[in-house]
Copies of this chain bind each other. A is one copy, B any other.
Amino acid sequence: MTVDPGEIVKRYLDTVASGNVDDVAALYAEDATLEDPVGGGEVHIGRTAIAGFYQAILGAQISTELLQLRTGGHEAAFLFAITINAGETKMRVEPIETMVFDSEGKITSMKAYWSPADMTML
């Protein structure tokens, strides 16, 4: 299988916006790790823990927009905007994320770099 990191990143952002936790978790390898935010002190290990992480976010109405994408080998780094509309609260964050993919194109590692300072209330 040829792995196209750019295609996987776009599918990831579309799937996050669709709001289906199982579909997002299915993009990850069984033993993947997720750190969001980097430096936050918590790394989610395994697809079940990762599904739990997205469960907490994907209750809201979400849109995503890819702003910058860099790929190399089986890895990608990208800047994107995510807008989260949870009724009263609407906010936009622009994280930089990095991803590593396995030979099946599954995400084995995701790291999201952002801090509250990068968050805008809308």
Indicate how many identical chains form the complex: 2
Q: Is A82 an interface residue (CB 8 A)?
A: no
Q: Is A118 an interface residue (CB 8 A)?
A: yes
Q: How far is the CA of A71 from the CA of B39 in the complex (A)?
A: 8
Pair A113/B72 contact, Cβ less than 8 Å:
yes
Q: Is A55 an interface residue (CB 8 A)?
A: no
Cβ contact of A70, chosen from B40, B70, B72, B115, cutoff 8 A: B115
Number of A residues with CB within 8 Å of any CB on chain B:
25
How far does the Cβ of A8 sit from chain B's closest Cβ, in whole Å?
A: 14
**B contact residues around A37 at 8 Å (CB):** 72
Cβ contact of A78, chosen from B71, B76, B96, B115, cutoff 8 A: B96
**B contact residues around A115 at 8 Å (CB):** 70-72
**B contact residues around A70 at 8 Å (CB):** 95-96, 113-115, 118
Cβ contact of A75, chosen from B38, B76, B95, cutoff 8 A: B38
How far does the Cβ of A82 sit from chain B's closest Cβ, in whole Å?
A: 13
Q: Is A74 an interface residue (CB 8 A)?
A: yes
Query: Which residues does A use to contact B, with CB under 8 Å?
Result: 37-41, 68, 70-79, 94-96, 98, 111, 113-115, 118
